[in-house]
Structure 1
């Protein structure tokens, strides 16, 4: 869990009631931004930092094999919230009916049928005991729900400008190991946008470094390593290029999945300079596509 704890010794003795504050990691140089949440230093609040009923439900659904969980932060306006829910549910139904697991990927059951004597490229093997399926679901969180106050503020401060839309419903897709993407907001919550996001989650695996991927890791108490260990899902052939989020279409220069090796990275890059060129092009596409997505999501 990526949580750094800092104790402000200068405030010792100021009050008998200790407090705690939650910040996002600095996004740029300069003064520290205000905390996204603050409260009394109690065991209950300490537990709520990383755990709540909604987050437990998100973890449960992801570990059951769902491709992503859509978390709807309600506006408090019933008409707006219900309209958003209807759009999400219709898009989920369309995605589950039309999206398919990428070609060349075997389910756990299929992988077990592969003969032990057959040689397999370990670079094309995904290890997981989680079912492989196309499935999505929705969780609604009211802005007045005190049990989800920290989780709610965590989402609502994912970007610095989200405070301008506090009277609008927002939906955050959560996928993988509790990683959330930028929200769709108000009229941006529509079937087309949600379907495009869903296509990204069901696309072929990406070779990008996690910090270069869109979104942020949420504070969630879950033993992801233990949950995904166990079986293998085998990729029998080269995967198609990763389809991005909406316009986020990072064109892969090599369709096969890549894992770490013990060989010399520098010598490999020298012998294969096209990888560096492809990486630069991929990053340019990703950053450009994120800007396009931001313009579409409202």
Structure 2
């Protein structure tokens, strides 16, 4: 599996030599056929970027191997018991040979038992192992993890990702650069050049000339004698006659207002 094989099939012998031989030969024959028939799914760049592929796609290959294990081998008792515990009833078939595909980082798919080791079930298991994975959550993937003391991180080289050029960042940095450009004396040079332009100089002279004329007009106005000083003062008698109120008009206006109010009152009384 570390070398990129699709799966390693663990063949548990039953103790019956004839059954074990026939089942193992059939398994080996069908696995060879699957290696020629099946194809690995295409690895997408998005899967590599998301970390769904832990090895380089070039190192993957359609390859199956078989490891034979005797149930009576004391050196393999721990592995045997783990495999028989992946399903609830596997220990009940102690007289039948079993084939269990192990893939990935020590994950066993399911067991093929006795007559269940046939071309159809072997092909289906191989297709399940080589088909595209749609489950990104480990608990949703088929199979059961085996406890193995294997340093996977050291043995498996992660697939490298091509570096992508990131777009330039925009934000407070660009804003501060624009403010610094405004405060930079060098950036004010174009304004100074505009002031030294002959057209601008002519406009400034014209403005100064108009300002001088305004000052002369103001001075001439201030030097003229005040008309108020030449107007003779009126005596108190003539002033009192000029501003004497007309009591006749006031009385007439008051009478009109009283008549209007009286008429309004009468109309209001009639309506009630």
TM-score tier, shorter chain, comes to: 0.5 to 0.7
Is the CA contact (8 Å cut-off) linking 1:173 and 1:181 kept in structure 2? yes
1:126 is paired with a residue of what secondary structure? coil
Provide the TM-score with structure 1 as the length reference. Answer: 0.50
- Mapped pair 1:203 → 2:142: no
Q: Please say if 1:154 is aligned against 2:73.
A: no
Distance 1:161 1:127, change over 3 A: closer
2:153 counterpart of 1:225: yes
Is 2:9 the partner of 1:74? no
**Higher helix residue share:** 2
1:72·1:170 contact (CA, 8 Å) conserved in 2?
Answer: yes
Which runs of 5 or more structure 1 residues have no equivalent in the other structure?
1-61, 112-118, 235-298
**C-alpha distance in structure 1 between counterparts of 2:135 and 2:89, whole Å:** 30
Query: Structure 1 pair 121/152, CA: closer, same or farther in 2 (3 Å)?
Result: closer
How big is the shift at 1:120? Answer: 10
Q: Take 2:9 and 2:94, find their aligned partners in 1: how far apart are those partners? A: 18
CA deviations over 1:105-124 (Å, ceiling 9, x no partner) = 37xxxx9xxxxxxx998348
Which residue of structure 2 aligns with residue 95 of structure 1? 34
Q: Is the 8 A contact 1:128 1:233 kept in 2?
A: no
1:136 is matched with: 64
Structure whose CA Rg is larger: 2
Q: Deviations over 1:265-297 (max 9, x none)?
A: xxxxxxxxxxxxxxxxxxxxxxxxxxxxxxxxx
C-alpha change, 1:192 and 1:220, in structure 2 (3 Å) is: same
Return the alpha-carbon distance in structure 1 between the equivalents of residues 132 and 148 of structure 2. 25
Deviation at 1:163, TM superposition (A): 2.0
Q: Which runs of 5+ in 2 are unaligned?
A: 163-272
Distance in 2, matches of 1:87 and 1:233, equals 41
List, as ranges, runs of 4+ consecutive aligned residues in structure 1 with deviation greater than 6 Å: none
Cα RMSD for the two superposed structures: 2.5
